[in-house]
Chain A
C-alpha cells in the first residue's frame, strides 16, 4: 500500500471531484461531437454485459413465467390434453393450408409472379431490456459474425407476430434493437386493404401514433397496418399492428409484436438493393458499402 502524508491525501481527495467532473463533461462533449465514439463505447459495454445477462436472465424468466420445474409438473396433464386438442385442430388447418398453397401456386403461375429474394435471418434471445426512460431498446444475443457475414445493422427484428424494431448497433456478441415504440422510430406504413400511406411514429408510450395520412382519407379503426417500402427502410408488407382510436381520438397502432415481453427475436437482413435514404444505414459506418449504379437506381425517380 502506498503511504501518503495526510495533507497530500486531503489535497488529492479534494482534487478528485473537479477532475471527475471535468472528465464527465469531456465525455458528454466528445460523445456529442463524435457519434462513432458513442457507438463504440456502447457496443463495447453491451458486449461486456451480454454474457452476464445471458447467464442471469433464464432463472428470472423461469420465475416470472412461473414455468419452473415444479410448476411444469403440476400443469403437465392438463397441458397434454390441451395440446392434443390443439394438435387435432391444427391437423385440419394443415389440410386447408396445403389446399390454399396449391391454389396460390397455380394463381402465381398464371400471373408470372416474381418472388422477392428471401432474406437471411438470425434468431437471438432477448437478454436485457436496456432502454432508459427516453429510449425503448432491447439487447439480443447474436452469433459472432464471420469475416464475410453481412452487417446486422438495419436488420428488421420480428417476433412471432409482427415487426418489433430495427437493429441500430452490433457488437461481437449482442445487437441492440430500437423498438417501434421508441421516440426516435419513424416507419412508413401502408394502412388497410387500399394500402393508404402514413408514417408510424413512436412516442415512448405503449402504442405508436400515426402521422401524415392523406387528409381526405383518415385511417379506419381496425385497419391492418403493414410496412411500406417508401423511403427504403423496410421491405413492404410486414405485419405491424392494427389501427385504433385512443381516448383523445387520435389514431394509434396497437402492435402485433408482444413488445413488453419480448423473448426471441428474428433479425432479417434484406438484400441491399434499397436506396440509402434512411438515418440508420444498411451497412456499418466503418465499412461503408458504395452501391453500384444499377443498385442505386433501383427505384424509378
Chain B
C-alpha cells in the first residue's frame, strides 16, 4: 500500500503517462493480437475453435483481476472483431462477451478469493454457456439448426487451455499489465 501511494504521488511526466497507457492497454491489445494471429496459416487442428476460446478465457480472467483495464467499450470492439474474423453474424460475440464480462464482474468479489480449481470450474460453466449461446444465436440468425459439435469443441478447447492461459496472464497481471507499478 505504501508503494502504491508513493507511486501515485510521483509527478505525471510524459514517459510515465506513456507507461500507464501501455500497461492499461495491455489486456485488450494482446487479446486483439492473439485473435489476429490465430488467422495465420499455422495448420493447427481445430485452429478456428481456438479464437472464441481465447476471447472467452481472456475476458473472464481480466474481468476478475483487472476489470478497469478491459472497459465494456473495448470488450464490445473485441467481440465485433471476433465476429468479423470468425464469420459469425456481426455483433453476436460482442453481445456474448459483454454478458460474460458483466456476469464475471458481478461475481468477482466471490471469485477473487477462491482456489484456482474452483475458478476453473466456474469458468468451465461460463465457457459452456457462452458457446451454447453462440450456437443457439447463430442457428437462430441463420434460421437453420447448425451442428453442435464445433461449439462443443470450442468449449472443450477453452476449458482445457484455461490453466495455461491463466498461467501466462497472471505473470502479465503482476508485471506488464500492472498499472500501479508505472
Residues of A within 8 A of B (CB): 13, 16-17, 19-21, 23-29, 31-32, 38, 41-42, 45-46, 49, 52-53, 56-57, 60-61, 64, 126-135, 137, 139, 183, 203-204, 260-261, 263
B 76-135 contacts with A by CB, 8 A: 76, 79-81, 84-92, 94-95, 98-99, 101-102
Q: Which applies to chain B's interface (DSSP): helix, strand, loop or mixed? A: helix
CB < 8 Å neighbour of A16 from B71, B80, B84, B141: B71
How many contacting A-B pairs (Cβ < 8 A)?
127
Q: Is the CB of B146 within 8 A of A60?
A: no
Q: Inside 8 A of B14's CB, which chain A residues have their CB?
A: none
Q: Which applies to chain A's interface (DSSP): helix, strand, loop or mixed? A: helix
The residue in chain A whose Cβ has the minimal distance to the Cβ of B134 is A133
Residues of B within 8 A of A (CB): 36-37, 39-43, 47-49, 51-52, 71-73, 75-76, 79-81, 84-92, 94-95, 98-99, 101-102, 138, 141, 146-147, 150-151, 153-154
CB < 8 Å neighbour of A133 from B36, B40, B48, B80: B48
Q: List 16 A-B contacts (CB under 8 A).
A: A17-B98, A24-B95, A29-B91, A42-B90, A49-B36, A49-B85, A64-B41, A127-B41, A128-B39, A129-B41, A133-B153, A134-B88, A134-B138, A135-B86, A260-B43, A261-B41
12 new A-B contacts, CB < 8 A, other than A131-B48, A133-B49, are A20-B75, A20-B76, A28-B95, A28-B141, A31-B90, A45-B84, A49-B36, A60-B41, A127-B41, A129-B41, A130-B87, A135-B87
The residue in chain B whose Cβ has the minimal distance to the Cβ of A184 is B142
Bound Cα distance from A27 to B102, whole angstroms: 19
The residue in chain A whose Cβ has the minimal distance to the Cβ of B76 is A20
Q: Is the CB of B40 within 8 A of A128?
A: yes
CB < 8 Å neighbour of A24 from B84, B91, B102: B91
Question: If the complex has contacts A61-B41, A133-B48, A133-B150, are A27 and B87 also in contact, measured as CB distance less than 8 A?
Answer: no
